[in-house]
Amino acid sequence: MADEPDLDDIQRRMDGAITALGKEFQGLRTGRASAQLLEPINVDAYGAMMPMNQVGTIGVPEPRMLTVQVWDKSLVKSVEKAIRESDLGLNPQTDGQLIRVPLPDLSEERRKELSKIAHKYSEGARVAVRNVRRDGIETIRKMEKDGDLSEDDRRFYEDEIQSMTDDHVGKIDEALDTKDKEIMQV
């Protein structure tokens, strides 16, 4: 019905913030090799910035080693430079078109740094969820002002949106706790 706010859309947008947080968390190192670690890195290729997985195949041959098989030999230097300049603290080694990326042990200082980054990502997700809440509540208040909703309906929908917000912020906090434990595990 056109006279009701779209709670499904609000739910979908809040879920999107949690999905984005999950992808950001995958890029944070926890001591185990994961192909997702290199995927967010962009490479200067053919005059444009391209994701790593569009210039080569990322592999995990060993638990503490990543490889990138670069498809175009002219991009090997660009891929190596992009990995080296990322904030991941990695030192790639080139062997023809294959780039080996050994994962060093995480120091206590590096673990704390990664934990701070995880907290920053989760705060960004919380802000995104709160922005969705604000947009939803503004829409509801406008509908009430326009006479499309009664005051009781407005209160009901505001409570529903607040409940969704609390639920999603709780999920973000859970994800952060899990990632923090993973990062700090020696």
Closest CA to 179 of 70, 49, 34, 51: 34
Cα–Cα distance list, 79 to 48, 50, 97 (Å): 13, 10, 10
Instruction: Look up the CATH number of domain 7-25+107-184.
Output: 1.10.132.20
Which residue, 117, 99, 126, 107, is CA-closest to 20? 126
Residues in the chain: 186
Q: Identify which of 1, 70, 65, 10 has the alpha carbon closest to the alpha carbon of residue 37.
A: 65
32-102 CATH choice from 3.40.50.170, 2.40.50.140, 3.30.1360.40, 3.50.50.60: 3.30.1360.40
Nearest to 73 by CA among 98, 101, 54, 90: 98
Other CB atoms within 10 Å distance of the CB of residue 9: 13
Query: pLDDT truncated to tens, each residue of the chain (186 aa)?
Result: 456 778 899 999 999 999 999 888 877 766 667 777 788 788 988 888 988 888 999 998 887 888 999 998 999 999 999 988 887 778 899 988 899 988 877 778 878 888 888 899 899 999 999 999 999 999 999 999 998 889 999 999 999 999 999 999 999 999 999 989 888 876
What's the pLDDT score for residue 186? Answer: 64
Tokens representing residue 76 in the block: 């090997």
Common-topology check for domains 7-25+107-184 and 32-102: no
Report the predicted TM-score, pTM, of the whole model to 2 decimal places: 0.70
Say what the pLDDT of residue 1 is: 42
Q: Tell me the sheet residues that pair with 100.
A: 67, 93
Q: What residue ranges do the domains of the chain occupy?
A: 7-25+107-184, 32-102
Judged on CB neighbours under 10 Å (0-12, 13-18, 19+), 116 is: exposed
CA 37 to chain centre: 11
Supply the pLDDT for residue 145: 92
